[in-house]
Amino acid sequence: MRATRAIIHLGNLAHNIQAIRGFIKPGVKICAAVKADAYGHGAVECSKRLLAEGVDVLAVATVGEGEELRAAGISCPILLLSLCAPEEIEDAVRQDITPLVFDKEYIQLFSREAGKLGKADYPVHIAVDSGMGRIGCLPEEAGKIARMIVDSGNLTIGGTCTHFALSDGISQEAQEYTKNQYTNFLKAIDNIRSEGLDPGLRHCCASAATLIHAEMQLDMVRPGIILYGYYADEVDREYLHKLGTPLDLRPVMTLETEVSAIRHFSRGMSVGYGRTWIAEKDTDIAVLPVGYGDGLLRRWAAAGLEVAIGGKTYPIRGRICMDQCMADLGSGSPVHRWDKAVIFGCKADGAAQDADDIARLTGTISYEITSCITKRVPRTYIE
């Protein structure tokens, strides 16, 4: 196996889900977001462990992601959070993937396919746009959509959901916006009930709202990022501690590699493309077989990425290449060729930075850091 690999700590995944459970009211179901290959951690392995830890439902973004789970023998309900193309609907229904619906055309397409495949009462969830501005019907249309589902012939209302735009913000404005969205969502539920119909499982909380708006958990919550050990933006370790509800999350992924060569650079020699870094004094440079083809983005170098080798940190010099990058060891460092170098992840693995640290350095969120570790990086699953 390549030296560059992502270690996936399934034990930390289990720890996180159990820690999160302390925030979830009894009887509330858990729908774990495993879209985008479980945020880069490997959907099949993570899903199996999450189900073993008592998760009820899995959420994906594409039909292909759902099919991958089914092919691995996973039989729990799978929710499709994004819309699929008409050509994918047959596969979605064949694989019993539950779509979010909110308009006549899409409802009819699913109903027709369910009829063709002889599936009666095929469950769909109604998506309500309560203020996210993405998919969903308006709250006052929810009853009409619910009626359409029931009248379509082959579908049944399995649930009703919405998604918050600002639930990971802690300002008063953000929290008020979330409360307002929640009120709109409840209006949608009332609107369905006043049609004499059952909204099914009501769900609206992703990670942040699950942790700080317990009253909004309703019948099911949909955590994602916290499963993988990272806080949802401003709802972070300090904020939860301040609220008196501390939460200890552990990063699940560690990205590591090995020093593939150590080369002595004398003053004036430059490192890599563009000659953006020139040695001001003699130094040793470690070559690392990891680059942007693995998800180590070029802009991380300029932002101040450091790798940890043997408990010390060393700055990346010059530009990150597609397959390699270079770290400055200085002179007389104890680093040897083939030593392990940790890019980010668990402190317990020797990482100096986690995905949140890199996200802060590079102006993004941890979600993007782990999701963008590419396919050519083998995932190694350990406890």
Ligand X SMILES: *Cc1c(COP(=O)(O)O)cnc(C)c1O
Choice between 127 and 286, CB closer to ligand X: 127
Which of 25, 104, 273, 375 is the catalytic position? 273
The answer to whether residue 35 is catalytic is yes
- For the segment 19-38, give every residue that binds ligand X (CB under 6 A): 33, 35
- Residue 17 near ligand X by CB under 6 A: no
- Residue 81 near ligand X by CB under 6 A: yes
- Residue 163 near ligand X by CB under 6 A: yes
Choice between 232 and 309, CB closer to ligand X: 232
Smallest separation (angstroms) from ligand X to the CB of 207: 3
141: Cβ contacts below 8 Å, ≥ 6 apart: 102, 191
Strand (E) positions, the chain? Answer: 5-9, 29-33, 57-60, 78-80, 97-101, 122-127, 155-161, 201-205, 220-221, 253-258, 261-265, 270-271, 277-278, 283-288, 306-309, 312-317, 325-330, 340-344, 379-382
The interface mask with ligand X, positions 107-146, x = CB under 6 A, is ----------------------------------------
β-strands 325-330, 220-221 pairing: unpaired
Q: How far is CA 208 from CA 42, 177, 200, 246, in A?
A: 22, 14, 23, 13
- Residue 223 near ligand X by CB under 6 A: yes
Which of 29, 35, 230, 367 is the catalytic position? 35
Choice between 171 and 194, CB closer to ligand X: 171
Residue from the set 123, 143, 199, 224 that interacts with ligand X by CB under 6 A = 224
Q: Which residues are catalytic?
A: 35, 273
Residues interacting with ligand X, by CB under 6 A? 33, 35, 81, 163, 206-207, 222-225, 232
